[in-house]
Amino acid sequence: MKSTFVLGQIEGVVVKRLKKHLDYRGWLCELFRADEIPQDILPQMSYCSLTYPGVTRGPHAHRYQTDLFCFVGPGNFEIRLWDNRSDSSTFKNMLKLYGGADSPLCVIVPPGVVHGYKVIGTEPGIVFNSPNKLYGGYGRKDEIDEIRYENLKDSPFDFDG
């Protein structure tokens, strides 16, 4: 199936270049500050994941959760987002970003925006995520808020198009 998405910005997605502060010890990078993001998307938890070169995570979306991803390295990523929200002014737009060690990024992904990333190059990549909802709810007792598209045959959400 040919993708019906076109390249363009996506309403509600925030992309912020991150700055690494370097000195003789290494570097430090602020991932987010509560005084720089809306209160309703303040993180409720945080995790990091390591992904091997050539591996894709996603695409998937959330009904209620906003993700706050930080791509700072090691490794570099191709990041793709698809606006699958029929009530959005940017419905059917796809945004392609590159971030990681060579270009640190913070990407805030609102509910309903399909997203995924792929490690490019030869080095594994580490991603930090600080979503505004608890995975599985308080005490991990709720339904998982994910709409998964990884195994959807003829998916319009792919990294080849």
| Averaged pLDDT, groups of 10, the chain, 161 residues long | 84 96 94 92 95 96 97 96 97 97 97 97 96 94 93 84 64
Helix, strand or coil for residue 40? helix
**DSSP class of 156:** S
The predicted pLDDT at position 161 comes to 64
Tokens 């990294």 map to which residue?
159
Between CA 101 and CA 95 the distance in angstroms is 20
Nearest of 156, 150, 159 to residue 5 by alpha carbon: 156
β-strand pairing of 93-100 with 6-7: parallel
Phi, psi of 105 (to 5 degrees): -135, 145
* CA distance to 26, 59, 78, 138, 155, per residue, from 56 (Å): 29, 8, 9, 28, 14
Please give the model's pTM, rounded to 2 decimal places: 0.93
The predicted pLDDT at position 2 comes to 57
* Domains delineated in the chain: 6-147 (2.60.120.10)
